[in-house]
Chains A and B, each alone.
Chain A
Amino acid sequence: MDKTRKGLAATVAFTLAIAVSHYASAESITVVNQGGSPGDAQKVAVFDPFTEETGIEILVDTYNQELAKIRAQVETGNLIWDVASVHSLNDAIGCDEGLLEPIDWAEHIDESKFEAVGGFTDCGAPYLVSPGALVYDADRWQGDMVPRSWADFWNVEKWPGKRALPFQPDQVLEIALMSDGVAPRDVPKVLAAPGGVDRAFAQLEKIKPHVLWWKSGDESMQLLLTNEVVMGYGWQGRVNVANRSSGRNLKIVWEAGYTSAVIYLAVMAGSPKVEQAIELVKYSLEAQSQARYAEIMGYPPANVDSYAMLSDENRANQPTEYLDRGMMQAGSLYIGFWRDNGDSIRQRFSTFTAR
């Protein structure tokens, strides 16, 4: 009998331990981001100094922009996250569907510093800009053989071999239009107009046999570093990390035209810690935090004041001279187009690549 009682006590104690650990950290907020090296950089550049300054602890979770995870939490009122890092499409959908908290950011932050990246939305504060562009190995291609445009990317006679593109239609359709002579600024308009999608797919059809599709940023760089592809589409931050860790000389062709994804910080609807969450967002968008982050990741800062704080080496890597060649993946036309047509384009893209 004594043994049974002991076992019972142990079980009860165990259950209690689980219950208690649930409420252990009261002064904390949970942030969800994309993880990986950008996540690590965010911790060092933003979260750790924030905790030091305010005493508020930051728990970090990672997700792959799965909107369902936000939806499940908000609809059941069972919030695990307080602040979510969302891409522009999820920001728009989440805000519309009441999953993210509408916040008057102008009350807290000087919005004028963020006009260049498309500004604030009803729910989201822009904290990260991630450009994606044409990348090549500068030790391999020199002089006349340096690619200069997306048309060159499509030129399989001059550069025979495979090219690396992401396995996702957004970004790929956009650069397909650029290769067809559409100016980056006009891409959203052309894409959303009748026939725009067909034009982009027709363009993709031309190089499809020469494409290796990648699923992760890491893979995109591996393909370039191992010379499996002659050139590729890659994200700026990844290029910097790849060059630094492998001592290679990958270069970005800004003048060809590039896309810029904008990532927002948004507060989960109904979060009991709105105050602290806003504090964190404010802190993340401060010029110093933005500069620290940009210094580690090599992404351009979203806050225009941060440029002055960057090292010369870092500033040299930024597309400062080619701002007009960038296409922001934001704005109501662009977001509205992908929100309404995203599912059917993704299906079309998936049959297109499989055939």
Chain B
Amino acid sequence: MSATTTFAETGQVPRRLRTLVRRAERQHLTKMLALMAPSVVFVALLFVVPIALFLFRSVDNVEIPKYLPNTVAEIGQWHEGELPPEGVYRALTEDLIALKGEPEAAVLGRRLNYSVPGFRGLVTRTVRQLPDTVPASARELLAGIDERWLDPVYWATLKQQSGRITDFYLLSAMDLKRGADGAITQVDETQAVFLSLYGRTLYTSVGVTVICLLIGYPVAAVMASAGPAAANWLLMLVLVPFWTSLLVRTTAWVVLLQTEGLVNKILIYLGIINEPLSLMFNTAGVFIAMVHVLLPYMILPLYSVMKGVSPVHLRAASSLGAPPVTVFRTVYLPLTIPGIAAGCTLVFVLSVGFYVTPALVGGPSDQMIGYFIAYFTNSAVNWGLASALGAFLILVIAVIYLVLGKVVGFDKLRVR
């Protein structure tokens, strides 16, 4: 009673009550945060940390400073256009002698070979033939073992790559390199792989997204306008592939698209074609299978938006005499744009990172960025380059999420 009076008199909550409420709120918040903590820690530890470490590999340059400490310290004395001074030769010789008989020599060689093909052989060969102590002229010693040590290309690489951080992998992933003078130039035409890879990845993803939109939109519209029972059945049909393992679906397509597969047999039986088409291991196969896998991701968000479009708007427009095409273009289409944006984002983002389906149904020249990330991780063991490619992929996806998130709102961009 007295509290109410005080409140009425002063228009303020008494301080004690306010503190109590605050404390209770704080306690409540602490409890809630404690509930969230395990998940947040889990995701931070198993997602944020690995991704950060993964991205760091794209600039990480551990091998050269670690295995050639003396050389890295001395190489600053060297200037382009002349042979390195004896001190630099001596430093390198000391470093390489320390690596004699160690597997680290091969690890260093592998890293240097990324920059200059043949550097690995030069290093391993030199290390094998070095004596145990440095003679009076280290330059003569090295040049005697292999005269490539008189070629400035190798020294320029050592100088450029002497830091703990390198831009080498990121540049490589853009078909760029640093010339002997340190300026950024394009790599040789025969070595330029990645720009066309991004082009192909974008082309395939955009193509798949557009096809999904064109065939998914009418389906979603029919579902949205159907009666509840029919809509439920249609929804089930869309959900069946959605719930089916990606691998089962891809396997099914492998069987169907083979030259002797069902698709060709049916087409020949129907007299549409005479000779079997090659549908596997080429772009056609990749499109057919990827659209199949991703179509539900287009239909579902479209459907959920279209279900919310009130038929009243449409009826109003047509009762005013607008022809169906105009009604569609001026009323229905604009109302469904959030669904289009959400569906396109989902399909595009998922297809940019696709790996399994193109690997199984695609031909060698249909592989997208995901394939190359896996290749450089597993087979070529060039983890820096794999990370650089991954960094670009993440960048593209982040930009799309940000742009579309602004347009549509993040809550609409959820999968499933």
Q: Which residues of A are interface residues toward B (Cβ below 8 A)?
A: 64-69, 71, 93, 96-99, 167, 213-215, 219, 222, 226, 228, 336, 339-341, 343-344, 346-348, 350-354
* Cβ-closest 10 pairs across A and B: A98-B103, A66-B378, A96-B106, A167-B364, A344-B117, A97-B106, A340-B121, A348-B190, A68-B378, A226-B259
Whether, in the assembled complex, B326 has its beta carbon less than 8 Å from a beta carbon of chain A, the answer is no
A347-B191 contact given A66-B378, A340-B120, CB 8 Å threshold: yes
Complex formed: what's the CA distance from A68 to B191 in Å? 23
A-B contacts, 28 of them at CB < 8 A, read: A64-B378, A66-B379, A68-B377, A68-B378, A68-B383, A69-B378, A96-B103, A96-B105, A96-B106, A96-B124, A97-B103, A97-B106, A98-B103, A215-B363, A215-B364, A226-B260, A228-B259, A336-B121, A339-B121, A340-B121, A343-B114, A343-B382, A346-B380, A348-B190, A350-B193, A351-B192, A351-B196, A354-B200
Question: Cβ of B364 and Cβ of A213 under 8 Å apart?
Answer: yes
Question: Cβ of A97 and Cβ of B110 under 8 Å apart?
Answer: yes
Per a CB cutoff under 8 Å, which of B191, B258, B364, B379 touches A344?
Answer: B191
Question: Cβ of A347 and Cβ of B278 under 8 Å apart?
Answer: no
Task: Tell me the minimal C-beta distance from A225 to chain B in angstroms.
Answer: 9
A354-B259 contact given A68-B378, A340-B118, CB 8 Å threshold: no
Complex formed: what's the CA distance from A93 to B103 in Å? 10
Question: Cβ of B117 and Cβ of A222 under 8 Å apart?
Answer: no
Question: Cβ of A98 and Cβ of B382 under 8 Å apart?
Answer: no
Task: Tell me the minimal C-beta distance from B33 to chain A in angstroms.
Answer: 24
Q: Which residues of B are interface residues toward A (Cβ below 8 A)?
A: 102-103, 105-107, 109-110, 113-114, 117-121, 124, 189-193, 196, 200, 258-260, 276, 278, 281, 363-365, 377-383
Of chain B, the residue at the smallest CB distance from A92 is B106
Residues of A within 8 A of B278 (CB): 228
A348-B191 contact given A97-B106, A219-B281, A343-B382, CB 8 Å threshold: yes
Question: Cβ of A351 and Cβ of B110 under 8 Å apart?
Answer: no
Complex formed: what's the CA distance from A222 to B260 in Å? 10
Complex formed: what's the CA distance from A69 to B377 in Å? 9
Residues of A within 8 A of B121 (CB): 336, 339-340
Per a CB cutoff under 8 Å, which of A97, A99, A354 touches B365?
Answer: A354
Of chain B, the residue at the smallest CB distance from A65 is B379
Question: Cβ of A341 and Cβ of B258 under 8 Å apart?
Answer: no
Task: Tell me the minimal C-beta distance from B258 to chain A in angstroms.
Answer: 7
Complex formed: what's the CA distance from A222 to B377 in Å? 30
Task: Tell me the minimal C-beta distance from A316 to chain B in angstroms.
Answer: 30
Question: Cβ of B117 and Cβ of A354 under 8 Å apart?
Answer: no
Question: Cβ of B106 and Cβ of A215 under 8 Å apart?
Answer: no
Question: Cβ of A93 and Cβ of B191 under 8 Å apart?
Answer: no
Question: Cβ of B191 and Cβ of A351 under 8 Å apart?
Answer: yes
Residues of A within 8 A of B382 (CB): 343
Question: Cβ of A68 and Cβ of B117 under 8 Å apart?
Answer: no
Complex formed: what's the CA distance from A353 to B197 in Å? 13
Task: Tell me the minimal C-beta distance from B254 to chain A in angstroms.
Answer: 11
Question: Cβ of A64 and Cβ of B191 under 8 Å apart?
Answer: no
Secondary structure dominating the interface of A = helix
Residues of B within 8 A of A98 (CB): 102-103, 106
Complex formed: what's the CA distance from A222 to B281 in Å? 12
Per a CB cutoff under 8 Å, which of B102, B109, B364, B381 touches A67?
Answer: B381
Of chain B, the residue at the smallest CB distance from A96 is B106
Complex formed: what's the CA distance from A248 to B108 in Å? 51
Question: Cβ of B190 and Cβ of A68 under 8 Å apart?
Answer: no
Residues of A within 8 A of B281 (CB): 214-215, 219
Complex formed: what's the CA distance from A64 to B412 in Å? 40
Residues of B within 8 A of A68 (CB): 377-379, 381, 383
Residues of B within 8 A of A213 (CB): 363-365
Per a CB cutoff under 8 Å, which of A93, A339, A343, A352 touches B190?
Answer: A352
Complex formed: what's the CA distance from A319 to B221 in Å? 65
Question: Cβ of B380 and Cβ of A343 under 8 Å apart?
Answer: yes
Question: Cβ of B259 and Cβ of A222 under 8 Å apart?
Answer: yes
Complex formed: what's the CA distance from A97 to B120 in Å? 12
Task: Tell me the minimal C-beta distance from B285 to chain A in angstroms.
Answer: 12
Complex formed: what's the CA distance from A353 to B117 in Å? 21
Question: Cβ of A353 and Cβ of B365 under 8 Å apart?
Answer: yes
Complex formed: what's the CA distance from A294 to B165 in Å? 51
Complex formed: what's the CA distance from A167 to B378 in Å? 17
Complex formed: what's the CA distance from A202 to B297 in Å? 46
Task: Tell me the minimal C-beta distance from B184 to chain A in angstroms.
Answer: 18
Residues of A within 8 A of B379 (CB): 64-68
Complex formed: what's the CA distance from A124 to B193 in Å? 34
Residues of B within 8 A of A340 (CB): 113, 117-121
Complex formed: what's the CA distance from A98 to B103 in Å? 5
Residues of A within 8 A of B118 (CB): 340-341
- 20 extra interchain contacts, Cβ-Cβ under 8 A, other than A215-B363, A222-B258, A354-B200? A66-B378, A68-B377, A68-B383, A93-B110, A96-B103, A98-B103, A167-B364, A214-B281, A226-B259, A226-B260, A228-B278, A340-B117, A343-B382, A344-B191, A348-B190, A351-B189, A351-B191, A351-B192, A351-B196, A353-B365
A339-B120 contact given A67-B381, A344-B191, A351-B191, CB 8 Å threshold: yes
Residues of B within 8 A of A348 (CB): 190-191
Task: Tell me the minimal C-beta distance from A336 to chain B in angstroms.
Answer: 6
Residues of A within 8 A of B364 (CB): 167, 213, 215, 353
Of chain B, the residue at the smallest CB distance from A226 is B259
Residues of B within 8 A of A351 (CB): 189-193, 196
Residues of B within 8 A of A96 (CB): 103, 105-106, 109, 124
A93-B106 contact given A340-B117, A340-B120, A353-B365, CB 8 Å threshold: yes
Complex formed: what's the CA distance from A228 to B279 in Å? 12
Task: Tell me the minimal C-beta distance from B81 to chain A in angstroms.
Answer: 25
Complex formed: what's the CA distance from A228 to B380 in Å? 31
Task: Tell me the minimal C-beta distance from A332 to chain B in angstroms.
Answer: 10
Complex formed: what's the CA distance from A68 to B376 in Å? 9
Residues of A within 8 A of B120 (CB): 339-340
Residues of A within 8 A of B119 (CB): 340
Residues of B within 8 A of A64 (CB): 378-379
Residues of B within 8 A of A215 (CB): 281, 363-364
Complex formed: what's the CA distance from A354 to B119 in Å? 28
Of chain A, the residue at the smallest CB distance from B124 is A96
Task: Tell me the minimal C-beta distance from B114 to chain A in angstroms.
Answer: 7
Residues of B within 8 A of A350 (CB): 193
Residues of A within 8 A of B107 (CB): 97
Task: Tell me the minimal C-beta distance from A12 to chain B in angstroms.
Answer: 18
